[in-house]
Amino acid sequence: MTGPAPFPTALTELTGVRYPIVQTGMGWVAGPRLVSASANAGALGILASATMTVGQLRTAVREVKSRTGAPFGVNLRADAGDAGERVKILIDEGVRVASFALAPSRDLIVRLKDAGVIVIPSVGARRHAEKVAAWGADAVMVQGGEGGGHTGEVATTVLLPQVVDAVGIPVIAAGGFHDGRGLVAALAYGAAGIGMGTRFLLTSDSTVPDAVKAKYLAATVKDVTVTDRVDGLPHRMLRTAMVDSLERSGRAASLLRALRHASAFRRETRTSWHRLLRDGMAMRHGRELTWSQVLLAANTPMLLKASLVEGRTDIGVMASGQVAGVIGDLPSCSELVARVMDEARAVLKALPAPG
């Protein structure tokens, strides 16, 4: 592998990757092509599995393995009804890392760790990090409010040091990162590396349609908004006519739209209505969601697929971190990772020596 020299941190030592950079598991975006390109570039590529059937997941894992010999991971939904089946695939196929968008159960963590799989949950609050650390997680990714998709209200610069101080495991910083300066800043806060989603979405290795990438590149920071009208939870995305329509819709229109998308998602993933509603109820637990939001919570991936796969931004949504407003090019994953590491070393070298 060519490129900058290795940059050891607790994250690289734990996972075996060359650089302390994680390409996060974005639904419909983080498929075999992007994951293998990220892994070959020296980062930790994470395959997004929530939008795949169990059979598709196994096929995707094997495709990544055929494209790279470097370590990679798979992102799982801990609350999915078939989470156990998916965990078995990771174990059977020798996947290095399991990441989770929601905190996995203690039993899932134990099962994975017993099989030698590294467990890295994603969290948005200090108490969640403390919980999964106590259950045996190997590391944790903490996403601040700048991050794309489901997000919280606390900025990375406030949340990250809280988590670093609270847990004794490696912490990966996510939300607002796109360059070497951000990596150095995260390391200064005590993180072991950074996670980037939108920045990897906007690479030449990403399968997102070019016309959609152009919309991301044209966005300003103010064009990236947070709405709860997709599934009842704060969701950071580009403001589009579709988002405006969702925010104007009444309850009846929202319910009809939710039913239509739920039906499409059920066909796409071969999910029964029973499982679809069960997963939706799991998301509803502890939250004040309407039934239309429950349905949308279970099939929001269809709204993302419309834009990120089919290029239909008129009927889909475009999850995005705020960094979309400061990104202006489409490098390859190899070029991106090399650039970030070169920038990081230059920044470290330019820091004033302590007096």
Name every residue whose Cβ is closer than 8 Å to that of residue 215 and which is 6 or more positions away in sequence: 238, 313, 318
For 130, the token pair is: 């403390």
Q: What is the largest CA-CA distance in the chain?
A: 66
Give yes or no: residues 30 and 74 share one domain.
yes
Any domain includes 323 = no
- Please check whether residues 254 and 339 belong to one and the same domain: no
One domain, residues 150 and 128: yes
Together in a domain, 227 and 200: no
For residue 317, being part of any structural domain is answered with: no
The region of weakest confidence among 111-120, 301-310, 339-348 is 301-310
pTM of the model as a whole = 0.90
Share of the chain above pLDDT 90, in %: 73
Asked if residue 314 belongs to a domain, the reply is: no
Residue type, 167: V
Q: Which amino acid is at 156?
A: T
Q: Are residues 129 and 236 in the same domain?
A: no
Burial readout 192-201 (b: 16 or more C-beta within 10 A, e: otherwise): bbbbbbbbbb
Sign of CA dihedral 74, 78, 81, 84: positive
* CATH number assigned to the domain comprising residue 95: 3.20.20.70
Please give the structure tokens belonging to residue 81: 């009804």
Evaluate whether 139 touches 285 at the Cβ level (below 8 Å).
Answer: no
In a domain, 344, yes or no: yes
3-state secondary structure (DSSP) of residue 181: helix
Bin 225: left if φ > 0, else alpha if -120 < ψ < 50, else beta: beta
Phi, psi dihedrals of residue 248, rounded to the nearest 5° = -90, -15
- Taking only the tens place, the pLDDT of each residue in 270-288 is 666 666 666 666 555 545 5
Question: Quick one: which of 62, 20, 61 has its CA closest to 44?
Answer: 20
Q: Indicate whether 239 belongs to any domain.
A: yes
Same domain, 130 and 78: yes
Residue 255: the pLDDT is 63
Query: Is 4 within a domain?
Result: no
| 79/111 same-domain check | yes
- Residue 18 included in any domain: yes
| Beta strand 193-196 pairing with 224-227 | unpaired
Contact in structure between 172 and 22 (CB atoms under 8 Å):
yes
The Cα 148–Cα 319 span in angstroms is 6
On whether both 176 and 233 belong to a single domain, the answer is: no
Q: Which domain holds residue 290?
A: 220-308
In-domain check, residue 319 = no
Between 273-284 and 251-269, two packed helices, what is the crossing angle to 10 degrees?
Answer: 120
What pLDDT does residue 303 have? 81
Residue environment code for 96-112, b if the CB has 16+ CB neighbours within 10 A, otherwise e: bbbbbbbbbeeebbebb
Structural domains of the chain, count: 2
Q: Which H/E stretch holds residue 99?
A: strand 97-100
Q: Do 233 and 201 fall into the same domain? A: no
Distances (CA, A) of 151 to 120, 146, 249, 293: 17, 8, 22, 17
Q: pLDDT for 10-63, tens place per residue?
A: 999 999 999 999 999 999 999 999 999 999 999 999 999 988 999 999 999 999
pLDDT band per the 50, 70, 90 thresholds, residue 242: confident
Residues 120, 197: one domain?
yes
Domain co-membership, 131 together with 63 = yes
Q: How far apart are the C-alpha atoms of 51 and 271, rounded to whole Å? A: 11
- Quick one: 202 and 296 in the same domain? no
Residue with tokens 């134990």, as numbered in its chain? 110
In 3-state terms, what secondary structure has residue 211?
helix
Question: 93-107, 221-235, 266-280, 331-345 — which is least confidently predicted?
Answer: 266-280
Question: In whole angstroms, what is the distance from residue 259 CA to residue 122 CA?
Answer: 29
Q: Is the pLDDT of residue 213 over 70?
A: yes
Strands 97-100 and 171-174: unpaired
